[in-house]
Amino acid sequence: MMKNLKLKAARAEKDLSQADLAEIVGVARQTIGLIELGKYNPTLNLCIAICKALDKTLNDLFWID
């Protein structure tokens, strides 16, 4: 899997830490870290929750170019 730099950048844009985003979407901070590292494949529901929290689309954050 590839690192999710788009997620990391979008989170930074909102000035949110991994812990902040994790709390908003209801997961552990480690989960957000693992998604950003490309070591965890989130469920569609989690992807949608992350997108809503960051005002992004699924394509913005999870589509591989």
| pLDDT in the model for residue 1 | 57
**Domains in the chain: how many in total?**
1
| pLDDT in the model for residue 33 | 97
- Give the confidence band of 3 by pLDDT, cuts at 50, 70, 90: confident
Question: pTM (2 decimals)?
Answer: 0.92
The pLDDT mean for the chain works out to 95
Q: Residues near 45 by Cβ (< 8 Å), separated by ≥ 6?
A: none
Q: Give the CATH number, domain containing residue 42.
A: 1.10.260.40
**For residues 40-48, average pLDDT:** 96
Cα separation, 9 vs 43, whole angstroms: 20
Supply the range of the domain harboring residue 42.
5-62
The sign of the torsion formed by the CA atoms of 22, 18, 43, 27 equals negative
Helices 5-13 and 44-54: crossing angle in degrees, nearest 10, is: 30
**For residues 2-11, average pLDDT:** 92
Of residues 2 and 45, more confidence is placed in 45
